[in-house]
Amino acid sequence: MRTLACAGVLAASLTLAACGGSGDAIPVTQAVRDAQTLKAVPIDPTPSPTPNPGLLGGLLGGVLGIVGGLTCGLTSLTCHVIQGAGPQGQSAGTPANALAGYHPSDLQSAYDLPSSSAGVGETIGIAVANDDPSLEADLAVYRKTFGLPTCTTANGCFKKIENGAVSPDQGWGQEASIDVQMASAICPQCKIVVVEAPAATDTALLAAAKVAVANGATVVSDSYSLAESASEDDAAYAIGVPFVFGAGDSGAGAQWPAASSHVIAVGGTSLHRDTSARGWSETVWSGSGGGCSKYVAKPAWQHDGGCANRTANDISAYADPNPGVAVYDSYLSQKPGWRTYGGTSVAAPIVAGAIALAGNGRTALLDASFIYAHTGALNPITSGKTGTCGTYLCGAADGYSAPAGNGSPRGIGAL
């Protein structure tokens, strides 16, 4: 059993709120690194406000500092819950067209997802540590604001399970809010089951994921990471449904459990509107994890030549905190309400939601092999980097790269 660093959310505001704490922002010093057609569910079609390019130098324009070695003490998990670029603490009644950060319509557009017509009968599982007592109420605000169908305990759409004695936790509450709201944004017709682990350890969170499967989850999303260790149990992460993991937010390098050969490892990208046929450009986000595993053998379906072992990642999605995504979280002591977030904690539930839309949960995606066989149905990511190694292990490439995997979802053909 090891304590974890959750692959939470880096922010252009350069403040940190640790999982396991009060949720108050703690200033940190960071070193700067290098830098379709919408099939919408009936939601507010007004696009999110355009981020101000002059703010903090364009909020580093997606080139942001990376925090390394963060801890919440010697025995508690640290998550990278850091604010995005937009204003923090907007009230619950703020209209959608005044909310900073990307909205469901933006994400559905960027990934050409059939969100209005698919996902019925699918359940997205979310595993988190500790409890957010406002999670369901906050989800209701999010879904109402963006015109998504209600998802409550009463109508059978939402379920929250305490898998042991859990304590309220504002840091992990932010993680849970991001997860359930991004899953909702991508698959509004899906059910959601959240399982709260009693401790922020790999053992407890893996057990929570398995409880989610036992309660009907057809795909599970998780967003935490650990430094790799020789003690890794790769086989334990075969849970019978697709298991999606954020790659981490500390730049180049493989993290565990994203490096498991039994999970779908999700890297992070930056998204910007443009005049292309797609309407968006997408590059590697400088904070994305991903690289060559030290311990996990290379699976038969992976063929990159620069890493003899398993290479993370397999796929990627939006994670840049500039501008970030809009999330509603009232369970905070500082600036509760509408906030913006980034990080692979955003990317992982986006991909999990897309898998649910595809309906392949119990068949094709028990590992990432299906994705590698259908790369033509992904958006190629050919620019951006997470480090200075000079190879595809820390920079985008034509075809596969570690930070972006095989690309980002373009519809659901690769899922």
Contact 131, 302 (CB under 8 A): no
Per-residue pLDDT averaged across 23-34, rounded?
Answer: 29
| pLDDT confidence of residue 363 | 61
Alpha-carbon torsion 360, 244, 102, 378, what sign? negative
The proportion of the chain whose per-residue pLDDT surpasses 70, expressed as a percent, equals 79
Residue 347 has pLDDT above 50, yes or no: yes
Residue 64 has pLDDT above 60, yes or no: no
Per-residue pLDDT averaged across 369-379, rounded?
Answer: 95
Which two three-digit tokens encode residue 56?
A: 């903090």
Exposed/middle/buried for residue 374 (C-beta within 10 Å: 0-12, 13-18, 19+): middle
Nearest Cα residue to 137 out of 119, 154, 116: 154
Residue 105 has pLDDT above 90, yes or no: yes
Q: Which helix (H) or strand (E) holds 58?
A: helix 56-59
| Per-residue pLDDT reduced to its tens digit, 381-403 | 999 999 999 999 999 999 999 99
DSSP result, 152-188? -TTTTSEEEEE-S---B-HHHHHHHHHHHHHHHHH-T
Which two three-digit tokens encode residue 354?
A: 């897309």
d(CA 167, CA 20): 10
Higher pLDDT, 350 or 54: 350
Mean pLDDT of the chain: 83
Higher pLDDT, 62 or 268: 268
Q: State residue 409 phi and psi, 5-degree precision.
A: -60, 135
> Within a 10 A sphere around the Cβ of 219, how many other Cβ atoms?
32
Residue 41 has pLDDT above 70, yes or no: no
Per-residue pLDDT averaged across 128-133, rounded?
Answer: 94
| pLDDT confidence of residue 380 | 97
Residue 259 has pLDDT above 70, yes or no: yes
What size, in residues, is the chain? 415
DSSP result, 318-360? E--TTT-EEEEE---SSS-EEEEE-SHHHHHHHHHHHHHHHT-
- Side-chain half-sphere exposure of 43, counting CA atoms within 13 A: 32
d(CA 323, CA 101): 5
Contact 267, 232 (CB under 8 A): no
Q: What is the DSSP letter of 61?
A: G
Could you tell me the pLDDT band of residue 362, with boundaries at 50, 70 and 90?
Answer: low
Residue 84 has pLDDT above 70, yes or no: yes
Alpha-carbon torsion 68, 226, 10, 275, what sign? positive
Which residue in this structure is represented by tokens 């130098």? 57
Q: How far apart are the first and last CA of the chain?
A: 32
| pLDDT confidence of residue 133 | 97
Could you tell me the pLDDT band of residue 364, with boundaries at 50, 70 and 90?
Answer: low
| pLDDT confidence of residue 117 | 83
Which residue in this structure is represented by tokens 């200075």? 388
| Per-residue pLDDT reduced to its tens digit, 208-218 | 999 999 999 99
Q: Which helix (H) or strand (E) holds 369?
A: helix 369-372
Which residue in this structure is represented by tokens 């899953």? 183
Instruction: Give the bridge partners for 346, in sequence order.
Output: none
Residue 150 has pLDDT above 80, yes or no: yes
Domains and CATH numbers, the chain: 5-409 (3.40.50.200)
Residue 54 has pLDDT above 90, yes or no: no
| Per-residue pLDDT reduced to its tens digit, 134-143 | 999 999 999 9
